[in-house]
Amino acid sequence: MYIHQEKKRKTSLLWVLILTILILAGLWFIKNQPEWAKPFEPTPTPTLEAQYYINDGEIDFAEGRLHEAIKTYQKAIQLEPDNDIPYARESKLLIYTGDTAAALNKAEQAVLLNPGSAQNLAEYCRALDWEGLYGQAADACECAIELEPTYTPAHAYLSEVYADQASWILARTTAQEALDIDFQSPEAHHNMGYALEVQGRYAEAVEYYENAITLRPNLSFYYIAAGRNYYWLGDLDKAADRFGEAVKLDPASPAGYDQLGWTYHTNGEDSRAVDALEQAIGVDPAYAKAWGHLGAIYYLSQNYEKAINTLPTAIELAERQLLSKAQHIQIHTQIEETSGSELIPVLEGRFEQSLDGQSDILEANISPVQWIQEYRPEESDFTCGHLIAKKIKGQIVRASPTQDISFSQTFSQSTGTATLNLTTGELTLELENVPRPEAVPYQALIHYRPDKTESLGYIQPDEAGQIAEKFSITTKTSAPLEYYYELGLSYAYLSTDFCAEAVPWLLKALEKEPAYYNPAWEGLKICPSDASPPTPLPTFTPMPTESSGG
């Protein structure tokens, strides 16, 4: 018995020794294992793909979160900058938010990445239309239809182009084509409504706008369109309801508040109107229409002090709206041709909203214009999309063989920025690596949509090739006529002591419309002025008499 126990004890010690050796060996192996021996090691967190954000953006858009959707598409672009889809989707939404310049830029990038996509060309068409470039817009939409004849938005957007050009029959016909292809398309219903609205057929238009709302109930843009037509039909309660829905869906946009406020005023609810218009101004202090509507309400309610405090801002903002239409800036140089000297562009940049979100600042990144020989497609199956992409690249065909300088190479290192302050009218231009001009200094020009160009002046680089200039843009647009005479009459009605302040505004109103029905004439009766033009008299056509023949 004793011997048996001793033998068992020796066996146990042996197993303990073996297990200890195995444990130590295992620990060493874990600590020093080669790469091939780590198949079950936890993998790092996977990076989200662009498609995830594209899908997320579609959900945001469907639920009416436009600004969130735009940011989501931007994340997709950061992950896959060569993916054309998020550019086109973002362009579509930027139209709804009113940033048409940025929409055009995104649509251009989509077309450049994939010129064979009907979707890209259709969004490019729409952005061009909203920028007032109707001829180019029609070309892009027609190209999209050529590439994909059943792509509904291309037909719908082309209808919008025709409507903006007052081609009523074509607008309705093309909108109907879109509906025939896909009756469930909200764009098709909306643009049929628009084709009818611009003809004054509001009762018919509102039916299609309501269809668009049914198909896409979370887009404030459709509610504003419907509300606008209810307003013209005199159904103010329904108009206010639709504008109110627009405000709920997009509280960051001033348009809904503004139209809601003016509808309240028309319905005799001025206290609610003032509240809504003040909210519009709170959302966007540079929204001229809200200031003008607010000033008009104060004037009509004989609250002249508040009208005097409000209407000057409305006028200033409205007159500055030309600057908000700044499209791009170009730097020209002079060359000598056989027919004489000629100015040609060598640098350019397109204006977009400031990246830091300042609504009163536009910025443009300036880069070289590309000059090429006369373009001849080498491939027999070159599509219309490729031809449009060629134009988008900013490549300019040499006008004549005498232009033997390679502008693209000469200015290939030139870069810069242009910053336009919409409030002050000041444009800051900064350029680097600009070669000395061969003859006269360079000329800076700014282009406004759709077709206005203004020369800013001449510029010259320093010895380091740098240019730093500031320009003050004084060109203005005209504010609505009523802003001027309402301000002048507010001073005149308040007291004759303010005639010195009243007369300039009354005269400005007469400069714009000297007809006898201009209310400014009433103000000049209260505040006579030597500068006043002769008072016009209405002309009447006498009734024909028997002796006059006929």
DSSP string, 178-220: HHHH-TT-HHHHHHHHHHHHTTT-HHHHHHHHHHHHHHSTT-H
Give the phi and the psi of residue 449 in degrees, each rounded to 5.
-80, 145
Q: Are 137 and 159 in contact (CB under 8 A)?
A: no
Q: Which tokens in the block code for residue 212?
A: 């668009």
Q: Are 473 and 429 in contact (CB under 8 A)?
A: no
Q: Which residue has the tokens 């031809």?
A: 387
Task: Give the number of other CB atoms < 10 A from CB of residue 330.
Answer: 20
DSSP string, 161-172: HHHHTT-HHHHH
Give the phi and the psi of residue 336 in degrees, each rounded to 5.
-100, 125
Residues of the chain where predicted confidence (pLDDT) is lower than 70? 1-48, 337-339, 355-359, 370-381, 394-409, 537-550
Contacts of 257 (CB under 8 A, 6+ apart): 247, 276, 277, 279, 280, 283, 290
Neighbouring C-alpha atoms within 13 Å toward the C-beta of 109: 20
User: Among 469, 513, 470, which Cα is nearest to 488's?
Assistant: 513
Long-range contacts of 156-159 (CB under 8 A, 24+ apart): 156/185, 156/187, 156/188, 156/190, 156/191, 157/122, 157/125, 157/126, 157/129, 157/187, 157/191, 158/125, 159/191, 159/192, 159/194, 159/195
Q: Give residue 299's pLDDT.
A: 97
Q: Give residue 7's pLDDT.
A: 40
Contacts of 512 (CB under 8 A, 6+ apart): 478, 481, 484
Q: How far apart are CA 547 and CA 550, in angstroms?
A: 9
Alpha carbon of 451 to those of 134, 161, 226, 504, 524: distances in Å? 11, 17, 31, 31, 37
SS3 of 457, please?
A: strand
DSSP string, 346-390: EEEEEEEE-TT--TTEEEEEEEEPEEESPP----TT--HHHHHHH
Q: How far apart are CA 461 and CA 431, in angstroms?
A: 8
What does the domain layout of the chain look like in residue ranges? Answer: 50-252, 325-369+411-472, 481-526
Q: Give residue 403's pLDDT.
A: 46
Neighbouring C-alpha atoms within 13 Å toward the C-beta of 92: 23
Tell me if the pTM is above 0.75.
yes
- The pLDDT tens digits for 143-162 are 999 999 999 999 999 999 99
Strand partners for 419? 363, 428
CATH superfamily membership of 50-252? Tetratricopeptide repeat domain (1.25.40.10)
Neighbouring C-alpha atoms within 13 Å toward the C-beta of 210: 11
Q: Are 303 and 419 in contact (CB under 8 A)?
A: no
- Helix 134-147 / helix 384-392 crossing angle, nearest 10 deg: 140
